[in-house]
Structure 1
Amino acid sequence: MKYYGCSREDAAVDAAAAGYLTGKPGVALTVSAPGFLNGLTALAQATKNCFPLIMISGSSDRYIIDLDRGDYEGLDQYNVAKPFCKAAYRVDRAQDMGLAIARAVRTALSGRPGGVYLDLPAATVTDTVAQKSDANIYKVVDAAPKQLPSDEAIDRAVELLKNAKHPVILLGKGAAYARSEDEVRELVDKTKIPFLPMSMAKGVVPDDSPSSADSARSLSLGQADVVLLIGARLNWMLSNGEAPLFREDAKFIQVEIDAIEFNSNRKIDAPLQGDIKSVLQKLVPAIEKAGIKAPQDWLDLIAQDSKKNNDKFAARISASEAKPTLGYYSAIEPINDLMQKHPDTYIISEGANTLDIGRNLVGMQKPRHRLDTGTWGVMGVGLGYAIATAVETGKPVIALEGHLVSMVWKWKPFVVTTYLLLLSLLTTVVFTMVMLT
């Protein structure tokens, strides 16, 4: 087991990022009360972002907490954690640790991934079990089983796409987490339907794909009559599915593991419940059989708008580079050049302008190579994500950080120098931090 010690418990974000990158739950250990509270934001962030994380904290014994008798760092952590995670479990007997870990792993991974909290009262931590305790250790089998929609659900989706004049594919980070890039690329290649990636879905299909409509985002979404959502939620990042970002009469097909998400903000005309990879393995052949292709006049319209916007963007970069001082565009453009030459490099980004401009300027070629603040938008996760990425992948990592974020992670360089300097000698990890002011 790999263990990394950090100065503060909010480093649980590191474990959450590791969970996203590996598809296995990252595990964060904290001390009680204040330490637990320091990790709570990371637990909530993992749950909102759908990253598998298990946070384990020591706590006061129940007979003291339940009667409010007063204890050193006393806090009812189990009940405090419940609203902020996918599930919380209290382990009252040491012999149940195997069962508790197995439940936590399955809960973190099954359905929509998220954060799980395990509460260990003092009596459990100090308890002992029999030396031969293999019977108490559970191996989780098929923690995230495949799920497939019905044939009728597939038919509904195919019928909508068959009649679409302005179809669009909208990719969310769920598509990246699901390792569904092969299926998504096959869908795009065979239909030529324009696609738009959310920020952490960049690279599921390479940004330089001729089917990318990212440079014509407003036009593509604003005129789309059928939107195929793959691992994306109609939350605040997509104006909750409302006009003027989308047409009032737009039809939606949504590939989603959790049925509760359907109709959360507007009508979903063809819900496809299941894990993304399995759904697409069933949907793509049906689409191909129906002979569905994006209409050429729609592709031409998007191409024209993309060229116009790309020309404006290029002029903005040139104007920035002509100034004697370093600006966002002139600072980030060399990073983009590096990323295109070395597509195995990972980039982590957060901030305001830094995040927004970097998202538009830095092209991605590979999935899961870009991490940012995600759905909840919590700042201060950047260096933690970068540490986790360097540790888990052994690849070069760039942390592109806005200047205000530096106030949040002032303790992180200690971890970088303690662990990553050693790692750079052993595994040739290159860790680069770019901070924009």
Structure 2
Amino acid sequence: MYGVIGIPVTELASAAQAAGIRFIGFRNEQAAGYAAAACGFLTGVPGVLLTVSGPGAVHGIAGLSHAQINTWPMIMISGSAEQGEVGRGAFQELDQVAAVQRFTKYSGRAKRASDIPGIIRAAVHASVAGRPGAAYVDIPSDVLMAPLSSSESSGEEQSSVSGIELRQRAKASDSDVQRAASLLKQAQRPLVVIGKGAAYSQADQALRGLVARSGAPFLATAMGRGVVPDTHAACANAARSLALARADVAIVFGARLNWQLHFGEPPKWSKGVKYILVDVEPSQVDAAKAALVLRGDAAAVAEQLSSTLAGLDPSRFAQWRGQLHEKALAAKHKLEARLAREAFPLDYSTALRVIRDALLGIAPAPVVVSEGANTMDNARVVLEPAMEGRLRLDAATWGTMGVGLGYAIAAATARPERLVVAIEGDSAFGFSGMECETISRYQLRIVVLVFNNGGIYGGDRRQPALQEAARAGAAKGSFLADPVPTAFVADARYDTVMEAFGGDSFTARSAAELAAACRISFAAKRPALINVAIDPFAGVESGNVHAFNQPSKL
């Protein structure tokens, strides 16, 4: 359970601790909500966010909506105004059930203490049933503090969520599986696409078996990486453009044909590609583009398909895989040539290469979180290989900034045996930087690296002449001498934030300094923050999605 305590839920958090439920107290409900959402993704068990009433619940909607959009199981429990005072201007009064409905699969309010077990059960079931998502439980303060009768406080009530199947391994119909197998057997250039839904389903073994049985190449979305290892001979991640442009049959596991997959449309995808969508509840838009929909769990359907493809010769796609392998090899050689150059001041390539090399060989493999336009986009390319599923976390479907430290705390509590490395752009870090105190308070094994380039995309990147012109204009009474909208304080010492709370702190301005800081902090098993000075001119505006940020025509 993650959250921020206060009126009227303080005693609830204490009671949870007394009952053996770990409560992680955050500094902000938004970050706590992202932690609860990520916990649901990592474990398959709904992560729980606890908030106070009114403004606290509003802050929590950020995490709630994030879980709903990404289809991760999460439950938000909030206190609310005393029922007898509603409509009279009660303390922090808000119709919270109405406020969250757009972002939840289920929302319910307990009107009496005896309602709570049933509402909790309904919330848990809704969050994991079918397409996973968010649920909300509203408990007015008078209900929360009401005395219980002996029957209401019995063990029978406490076990009200027992029997709910958290992993619902729904299978596709046999006839649809046979049709999918037929399409794959007819294909000349098939492609398996592995999305974060397959990672959530923990379909690692099933999809590895399917790739081996079918002989088809695969590519993974950013958070689907590792379900089948990046080092697998069939991996086409580095030949993504060619794979999409030439595939004639694409079987998509747990991914939507949204902006991240170019809407499944030309020119990125081949014009005649036939989609086989594997999803528990595909959207109408995606289903309309598909030749076939296999409604079921990614792991279960992958196993069904593997059995059906028993007679398929996996070597028949050797030429297609060879073309992709050749393209991927060329891309990797080009990348390694770029990474071999040691930049000073540090650029993204040099810094991430140092981090990648420091991560190699750590066992068990660390969980890596990345966010920030240039930071995340470059990290997706450089930080490989991913050898296991659910070890790569980023801004996901919504491109949400500010998720990083919440994710990291969720990973550290859900997978305490692993090092967690959070690579943050300085802008992204700003959303939740105070959670460094949370990390230190609980002594979590998290190393935060802040890529400090002086602002959003790189701070004030105007040429000196333009900066001087701005100062001259300011003398005439304008605000042109104010910092540009993208700029932060130059040369900020973000490392001192962690130091202030007792964690380890480092500043790295060169590859050698960064390598030393990584080596020490990764081995120390305690909170640390490395302030990585990045050349402000190294990135591009909006990273890889700069096309979405069109210049003004005014």
- TM-score bracket for the superposition, by shorter chain length: over 0.9
Instruction: Note if 1:256 corresponds to 2:279.
Output: yes
Give the distance between the partners of 1:281 and 1:410, measured in 2 at CA: 43
Give the distance between the partners of 1:13 and 1:366, measured in 2 at CA: 22
Q: What is aligned with 1:299?
A: 321
- Deviation at residue 372 of structure 1 after TM alignment: 0.9
- Deviation at residue 365 of structure 1 after TM alignment: 0.9
- Deviation at residue 77 of structure 1 after TM alignment: 0.6
Give the distance between the partners of 1:205 and 1:402, measured in 2 at CA: 28
Q: What is aligned with 2:106?
A: 87
DSSP 3-state at the match of 2:432: coil
CA RMSD of aligned residues (A): 2.1
What is the identity percentage for the equivalent residue pairs of Structure 1 and Structure 2? 34
Instruction: Note if 1:28 corresponds to 2:39.
Output: no
Give the distance between the partners of 1:195 and 1:399, measured in 2 at CA: 27
Instruction: Note if 1:240 corresponds to 2:263.
Output: yes
Q: What is aligned with 1:286?
A: 308
DSSP 3-state at the match of 2:78: strand
DSSP 3-state at the match of 2:278: strand
Q: What is aligned with 1:72?
A: 91
- Deviation at residue 62 of structure 1 after TM alignment: 4.7
Q: CA 1:407/1:422 → structure 2, altered by over 3 Å: closer, same or farther?
A: closer
Instruction: Note if 1:374 corresponds to 2:396.
Output: yes
Q: What are the Cα deviations for residues 304-333 of structure 1, in whole angstroms up to 9, with x where unaligned? A: 2112212221222123x1x32211011011
- Deviation at residue 193 of structure 1 after TM alignment: 0.9
- Deviation at residue 263 of structure 1 after TM alignment: 4.2
Counterpart residue identity of residue 430, structure 2:
M
Give the distance between the partners of 2:105 and 2:263, measured in 1 at CA: 22
DSSP 3-state at the match of 2:422: strand
Q: What is aligned with 1:165?
A: 188
Q: What are the Cα deviations for residues 264-291 of structure 1, in whole angstroms up to 9, with x where unaligned? A: 3742112110111211221111012344
The normalised TM-score by structure 1 is 0.93
Q: Which runs of 5+ in 1 are unaligned?
A: none
Give the distance between the partners of 1:295 and 1:102, measured in 2 at CA: 48
Give the distance between the partners of 1:143 and 1:18, measured in 2 at CA: 14
Give the distance between the partners of 1:128 and 1:151, measured in 2 at CA: 53
Q: Which has the larger radius of gyration?
A: 2
Q: CA 1:186/1:435 → structure 2, altered by over 3 Å: closer, same or farther?
A: farther
Q: CA 1:97/1:227 → structure 2, altered by over 3 Å: closer, same or farther?
A: same
Contact 1:178 1:277 in 2 (8 A): yes
Counterpart residue identity of residue 42, structure 1:
G
Give the distance between the partners of 2:328 and 2:169, measured in 1 at CA: 38
Counterpart residue identity of residue 129, structure 2:
S
Q: Which runs of 5+ in 2 are unaligned?
A: 1-20, 448-502, 504-523, 535-554
- Structure 1 residues 106-117: aligned runs within 5 Å: 106-117=125-136
Give the distance between the partners of 1:197 and 1:353, measured in 2 at CA: 20
- Deviation at residue 389 of structure 1 after TM alignment: 0.9
Give the distance between the partners of 2:373 and 2:99, measured in 1 at CA: 31
Q: What is aligned with 1:334?
A: 354
Contact 1:52 1:113 in 2 (8 A): yes
Instruction: Note if 1:12 corresponds to 2:21.
Output: no
Q: What is aligned with 2:81?
A: 60
Q: What is aligned with 1:44?
A: 65
Give the distance between the partners of 2:350 and 2:212, measured in 1 at CA: 34
Q: Larger relative CO (CA 8 A, sep 6+): 1 or 2? A: 1
Counterpart residue identity of residue 332, structure 1:
L
Instruction: Note if 1:355 corresponds to 2:404.
Output: no
DSSP 3-state at the match of 2:101: helix
Q: CA 1:432/1:187 → structure 2, altered by over 3 Å: closer, same or farther?
A: farther
Q: CA 1:332/1:311 → structure 2, altered by over 3 Å: closer, same or farther?
A: same
DSSP 3-state at the match of 1:232: coil
Give the distance between the partners of 2:527 and 2:249, measured in 1 at CA: 42
Give the distance between the partners of 1:16 and 1:268, measured in 2 at CA: 29
Instruction: Note if 1:389 corresponds to 2:389.
Output: no
Counterpart residue identity of residue 93, structure 1:
R
Counterpart residue identity of residue 336, structure 1:
R
- Deviation at residue 431 of structure 1 after TM alignment: 4.6
Give the distance between the partners of 2:82 and 2:35, measured in 1 at CA: 29
Q: CA 1:127/1:412 → structure 2, altered by over 3 Å: closer, same or farther?
A: same
Instruction: Note if 1:216 corresponds to 2:239.
Output: yes
Moved more, 372-381 or 288-297: 288-297
Contact 1:173 1:231 in 2 (8 A): yes
Give the distance between the partners of 2:391 and 2:408, measured in 1 at CA: 11
Give the distance between the partners of 2:135 and 2:376, measured in 1 at CA: 28
Q: What are the Cα deviations for residues 187-216 of structure 1, in whole angstroms up to 9, with x where unaligned? A: 112222111010111110111111100110
Q: What is aligned with 2:289?
A: 267
Moved more, 211-220 or 309-318: 309-318
Q: What are the Cα deviations for residues 136-182 of structure 1, in whole angstroms up to 9, with x where unaligned? A: 33133124433111111001101111111111111001111111100
Give the distance between the partners of 1:252 and 1:279, measured in 2 at CA: 15
- Deviation at residue 64 of structure 1 after TM alignment: 4.4
DSSP 3-state at the match of 2:286: coil
DSSP 3-state at the match of 1:264: helix
- Deviation at residue 300 of structure 1 after TM alignment: 2.0
Instruction: Note if 1:199 corresponds to 2:222.
Output: yes
Q: Aligned to 1:419, which of 442, 446, 452?
A: 442
Q: What is aligned with 1:131?
A: 150
Give the distance between the partners of 1:28 and 1:389, measured in 2 at CA: 15
The normalised TM-score by structure 2 is 0.74
Q: What is aligned with 1:226?
A: 249
Q: What is aligned with 2:169?
A: 146
DSSP 3-state at the match of 1:211: coil
Contact 1:224 1:246 in 2 (8 A): yes
Contact 1:201 1:367 in 2 (8 A): yes
Give the distance between the partners of 1:324 and 1:222, measured in 2 at CA: 37
Give the distance between the partners of 1:433 and 1:140, measured in 2 at CA: 41
Q: What is aligned with 2:519?
A: none
Q: What are the Cα deviations for residues 56-102 of structure 1, in whole angstroms up to 9, with x where unaligned? A: 0011245544xx43222111110000001222111111112111111
